[in-house]
Amino acid sequence: MNRIIYVGMDVHRESYTLCCVEQNLEGEDKVFGHLRMEAKIDNVKSYLKKIASGLLSKGIIPRFVCGYEAGCLGYSLYYQMIEAGFECVVMAPATLFLRPRHVLKNDMRDAEHIAKSLAYGNYRAVYIPSVQDEEVREFIRMRNDHKQGLKRLKQQIGAFCLRHAMHYDKTKWTQVHLRWLETYDLRPGYREVLDRYLLTYHMLQDLIEQCDLRIEEISQEERYREKVAHLCCFKGIRTQTSMSLIVETGSFARFATAEQFASYLGLIPRESSSGDTIRRGSITKTGNRELRRLLIESAHSICRGRSDRKSKALKARQRGNPPEVIAYADRAVLRLSRKYFRMIRRGKKTCVAITAVARELACFVWGMMNGRFETRVTGQKI
């Protein structure tokens, strides 16, 4: 007799807590096999083999379906489970069935709750990227971390200059400004501090440039080349943004509509309506924060300057792409620019208009990646 055993896994950095749930022929749950172990995949395999041997002795052929909540472990445990030959699901925590607040909570109960959610299907699985996409995503995130570090360092140098009355009235962080910092007359102790700051600044600048070159190389690989070229046809989207959109999203086809993709990015407004009363608030800010930031930056670029003129850099990026792709991107930019100025004329705040443009840009990106060059966005044909 074949039976499905649902294995809930409450995972932490140093320990795993597992629990098995089996549904009998009458539809009742049989909860068994609670065990807390050291966080090693070998311990999980030994545990499941022990459960399987006990069931096989009763004439039951088990099929294990394991699951754990998405968290700090990322996809590493999932990859290990699949490599070991087990079915595994990474579950979105917000989609699990909520328990009453007065119920006791500990690792054993959490593992049982996860197992029952698996058994009854009360969850939504997290999309699992390919190993290649995961590697590129980690590389891009590392580059962004260095960029944030450079931003903080600039603030620290600026604060140092302010404390010691070093006033510079022209544009900062140009070559002229850097030479001014390097040659400013300071006491020896202050000079040493500023020199070390500047040494770190140049080191981070060089590291970021090397990362950008590496991202350019990766974007020319066969699995990314065409998608990156298409996305770069949009004004305000270049290689790094394109690569982030591709590897962070994985498969655009998993979103049935453009609105679902915008919702995944947290760019849709909150709503709390009842009866005849309609209340809409700020955007939800759920989902992927990094992609939301990049699209808002791209929206800023689209809303600057004239939409009917292309820069030399944009023309170079569009060169060699199919005519329908270029036409789609141009129509999108023209529509988004008009939307921005229309909202500004109606008295909307700039940040609200930019966010609205970013939401619709996400819809156009979804259409581009799914080949929907005649798709309807917000009810109108582009």
**Alpha carbon of residue 97 to chain centroid:** 24
Quick one: pLDDT band at residue 374, thresholds 50, 70, 90?
Answer: low
Residue 191, amino acid: R
Res. 380: pLDDT tops 50: no
Res. 260: pLDDT tops 90: yes
Q: Which of 298, 299, 262 is nearest to 283 (CA)?
A: 262
Length of the chain: 382
pLDDT of residue 54: 86
How does strand 376-377 pair with strand 280-283? unpaired
pLDDT digit string (tens) for 153-200? 999 999 999 999 999 999 999 999 999 999 999 999 999 999 999 999
pLDDT of residue 129: 92
pTM above 0.75, yes or no: yes
pLDDT of residue 28: 73
232's tokens = 């770069």
Q: In this structure, how many other beta carbons lie within 10 angstroms of the beta carbon of residue 230?
A: 22
pLDDT digit string (tens) for 13-29? 999 999 999 887 666 78
End-to-end CA distance of the chain: 57
CA pair distance 307, 321, nearest whole angstrom: 20
pLDDT of residue 219: 96
CA pair distance 116, 108, nearest whole angstrom: 13
Q: In the chain, where do the E strands start and end?
A: 2-11, 15-23, 29-38, 61-69, 87-91, 269-271, 280-283, 376-377, 380-381
Q: Is the dihedral of CA 90, 260, 234, 227 positive or negative?
A: positive
**Alpha carbon of residue 272 to chain centroid:** 26
Residue 350, amino acid: T
Q: Which of 210, 211, 215, 207 is nearest to 153 (CA)?
A: 207
Residue 351, judged by CB atoms within 10 A of its CB (0-12, 13-18, 19+), counts as exposed
Please give the DSSP secondary-structure letter assigned to residue 174. Answer: S
